[in-house]
Amino acid sequence: MDGTPVYDIFVIGGGINGCGIARDAVGRGYSVFLAEMNDLASGTSSGSTKLIHGGLRYLEFYEFRLVREALMEREVLWRNAPHIIWPMRFVLPFFAGGPRPAWMLRLGLFLYDHIGGRKLLPATKTLDMRSDPAGKPLKPLFSKAFEYSDGWVNDARLVVLNARDAADRGAIIRTRTKVVAARREGNLWVVTVEDLRDRKTETVRAKLLVNAAGPWVDHVLAKTIGKNDVHNVRLVQGSHIVVRKKFDDPRAYFFQNKDGRIIFAIPYEEEFTLIGTTDRDYSDDPHHVTISEGEIDYLCAAASEYFADPVTRADIVWTYSAVRPLFDDGASKAQEATRDYVLKAEGGEGVAPLVNAFGGKITTYRRLAESMLEKIEGFLGKRGEPWTAKGTLPGGDFPATGYDAEVAKLKTSYPFLETRMARRLVRLYGTRARSLLGLAKSTADLGQDFGADLYEAEVRYLVENEWARTAEDILWRRTKRGLHFDREQTAQLEAFLRRISGPHIAAAE
Ligand SMILES: Cc1cc2nc3c(=O)[nH]c(=O)nc-3n(C[C@H](O)[C@H](O)[C@H](O)COP(=O)(O)OP(=O)(O)OC[C@H]3O[C@@H](n4cnc5c(N)ncnc54)[C@H](O)[C@@H]3O)c2cc1C
């Protein structure tokens, strides 16, 4: 074992927090090894509502620090990844006697506009819902609404692009690799990892261990590291339904339900509407989370309160669920538990350090990573300055408002591409769409056609550059082609992947 390298940092978990930390750390000069037991973003980080948002609702719980930091991140992240992050306008209808008085909403939105370093995002305005097109698909319940700005993110791709950038800078990123044990040997960690493809184990040594296992963070502490009495996070399930498009407007809706909760209805993947989310305490293994019948009924009923055309089970084309790992601050209701992150460190002075990340949002992942790096510097010494605020993610090297121009450029280079496909490729890969298309002169040059505009060239790109191994990785995380695929097409893709990337992969238990 003596010949094996000693890494500065070992990161457990390939969700947004683990990948964000790995990228920041390797960019400052630390050597990094990251292990993810399934696919990148297969945990909570592909199951979010996909908003880069301040969190208007968190103001009700006086989370000013979190909201300010999150608001500031909106434009930082948009600039760094304008292909997968873009501004979205939200319509928040209200009426006298509604769950929150208009003055309270106005005050919240005033703070939203003024404490968040807004430069490019347009300010809040008031809409007359009787004349504005936003009122059209709704029941005639509202005469007024506020329209405000937040951001949209392709959450699963944000994770993969952080991992890609980390790997490009020298980090080792291992997927399908579970951390099964971690023990201290003096000032070093000896971490045992198991490759879930062949069940082989190996040990990796590192000076510092980062536990970024999201909803599994306590499980890792108890079972992998062997701590007693672990209780740091509260697991709260959130589910979404995806239905055929309920409205044509590019704006999203923010509805306030009678029970005090809120739901969003968001334009999704061109042809669909995303509706969510729920909040309910969860105690099972986060892998097994699926939407309950009660949640489906709740979301259909809540959305049908507002849309003139009711939302029924028959409209649903897909559902997804995920588990929020909220730092346990003792709040009595799931929706009141803090959404802020907490980092807790232990060790040093001859005892190998461990830093745990609890809670957090997709929106604040970059700031969480910066705070983690402060802790790391405290143990390992400083190597470099914070850099990610201006660090473009792979494929995002074009101006924040330059998406349409980028699509036009891609079409000029590849005239055979239909506009729909060019737009999709720039949304997913930005300027790296060119590496995927290579020297192709026609769709025939893109290889096997799997359906729904997915060709072999894209599949190979995802396998070679983005750690994709299964049809699910490709259809539901790297892309959302799953919304358009049938069983037969999925089986063909799966067979192709088995041919090019080896045997079946077991899921981690
Ligand atoms: C319903 C819902 C809606 C949300 N909406 C938003 C939103 O709109 N905007 C926003 O900013 N945030 C949102 N969030 C919050 C956000 O999604 C999470 O805070 C974030 O994704 C957590 O990321 P993570 O990296 O900590 O956890 P995860 O993404 O779960 O990553 C942890 C990873 O660790 C891996 N792992 C665990 N144990 C091991 C092991 N032993 N070995 C190797 N790997 C291991 C897991 O497989 C997993 O991939 C939402 C969350 C939910 C649930």
For 10-57, write each residue's pLDDT tens digit: 999 999 999 999 999 999 999 999 999 999 999 999 999 999 999 888
Q: Look at residue 193 and give its three-state secondary structure.
A: strand
Is residue 302 within 6 Å of ligand 1 at its C-beta?
A: no
Q: At residue 366, does pLDDT exceed 90? A: yes
Average pLDDT over residues 299-307: 97
Q: At residue 2, does pLDDT exceed 70? A: no
pLDDT at 262: 93
Q: At residue 502, does pLDDT exceed 80? A: no
Ligand 1 pocket: which of 216, 219, 279, 356 to mutate (most atoms <8 Å of CB)?
216
CA nearest ligand 1 atom 24, residue: 214
pLDDT at 504: 52
Let me know if domain 6-44+157-232+339-390 sits in CATH 3.90.1200.10: no
Q: How far is CA 61 from CA 55, 110, 241, 270, in A?
A: 11, 17, 27, 34
pLDDT at 503: 57
Average pLDDT over residues 54-76: 90
Distance, in Å, from the CA atom of 121 to the CA atom of 87, rounded to the nearest integer, reads 7
> DSSP assignment, residue 505?
-
Closest ligand 1 atom to Cα of 364: 11
| Whole-prediction pTM | 0.97
Is residue 218 within 6 Å of ligand 1 at its C-beta?
A: no
Is residue 18 within 6 Å of ligand 1 at its C-beta?
A: yes
Distance, in Å, from the CA atom of 236 to the CA atom of 337, rounded to the nearest integer, reads 9
**Among residues of the chain, what percentage have pLDDT more than 70?**
98
pLDDT at 56: 87
Is residue 322 within 6 Å of ligand 1 at its C-beta?
A: yes
Parallel/antiparallel/unpaired status of strands 233-244 and 272-276: antiparallel
Is residue 182 within 6 Å of ligand 1 at its C-beta?
A: no
Distance, in Å, from the CA atom of 253 to the CA atom of 264, rounded to the nearest integer, reads 6
Q: What topology is assigned to 235-326 in CATH?
A: D-Amino Acid Oxidase; Chain A, domain 2 (3.30.9)
Average pLDDT over residues 372-399: 98
Domains 235-326 and 403-501 belong to one CATH topology: no
Is residue 220 within 6 Å of ligand 1 at its C-beta?
A: yes
Q: At residue 508, does pLDDT exceed 60? A: no
Cβ atoms of residues 151 and 87 within 8 Å? yes
CA nearest ligand 1 atom 14, residue: 48
Domain with residues 403-501, CATH architecture: Orthogonal Bundle (1.10)
Ligand 1 pocket: which of 10, 34, 48, 473 to mutate (most atoms <8 Å of CB)?
48
The pLDDT mean for the chain works out to 95
pLDDT at 347: 96
Q: At residue 466, does pLDDT exceed 80? A: yes
pLDDT band at 268 (very low <50, low <70, confident <90, very high): very high
Is residue 354 within 6 Å of ligand 1 at its C-beta?
A: no
- Domain range annotation of the chain: 6-44+157-232+339-390, 235-326, 403-501
Average pLDDT over residues 133-155: 96
Closest ligand 1 atom to Cα of 276: 1
Ligand 1 pocket: which of 42, 45, 53 to mutate (most atoms <8 Å of CB)?
45
pLDDT band at 127 (very low <50, low <70, confident <90, very high): very high
